[in-house]
Each structure stands twice: as structure tokens, then as C-alpha cells.
Amino acid sequence: MSVIDNVVFNTEGYMTDPNQWSPEVAEFLAKMEGIETLTPEHWQIIDFCRKTGLASGKAPTLRQITEGTGVTTKTLFALFPKGPAKKVAKVAGLGKPEGCV
């Protein structure tokens, strides 16, 4: 049995219920997004996004992530290549950030 067997996703691959999220789900989703290992730096960003996203009901934007974590945009792109705000939202079990195509 897989960690995502009972997790519901929308057509774009985002979880529909952030309460179904777990660190194991995050690790699975990260691999699906091409991120083999989640480092402490990844987790700092994921934790910030979950806390912020669950409080506001919206996934944080790239600017909110960089300002809230102190991680540079360049580092964010290195950790979550090709669309970091969307990738971290997906891995964190949140919906797609507003303004992302």
C-alpha cells in the first residue's frame, strides 16, 4: 500500500484536502516532482508554507516564501527547480498559489 492511496488530488495534481498531508506524502510528492531527497533546507520551506497556507487558506507566493524564510530566490529555484512556488505548494499539500499559470 502506498502513502498516497487514500489522498485525493485535483486534475493539476494538487491535494484537495491539506489534512491528508504527512511528511511521508511530502517525500513521495517530492520524488514525483524530481526532488530525490528532502533536506533540512527543503523542510524549512515546506514547514513555512504549510503554516502560512493553512492559516490563510492560500499557498504562499514566491515573494512570501523568500521573505518569510530568508531563503533567496536563487536558492529556492535550486531546491525546487522549474517553478518553486508551485512545486513547494504541491509537496506541502496545498493548492496552487494564486497568480501561477
- Do residues 99 and 74 make contact, with C-beta atoms less than 8 angstroms apart? no
Query: CA-to-CA distance for 56 and 31, rounded, in angstroms?
Result: 27
Query: CA-to-CA distance for 96 and 18, rounded, in angstroms?
Result: 12
Predicted pLDDT at 82: 92
- Do residues 25 and 92 make contact, with C-beta atoms less than 8 angstroms apart? no
Q: What stretches in the chain show pLDDT beneath 50?
A: none
Q: Find the catalytic residue in 63, 79, 100, 101.
A: 100
Predicted pLDDT at 86: 94
Kindly state the percentage of the chain with pLDDT values over 90.
Answer: 87
Residue 95 buriedness (CB in 10 A; 0-12 / 13-18 / 19+): middle
Helix axes 62-69, 40-56, angle to 10 degrees: 120
Return the domain boundaries, the chain. Answer: 18-91
Let me know if 100 is a catalytic residue. yes
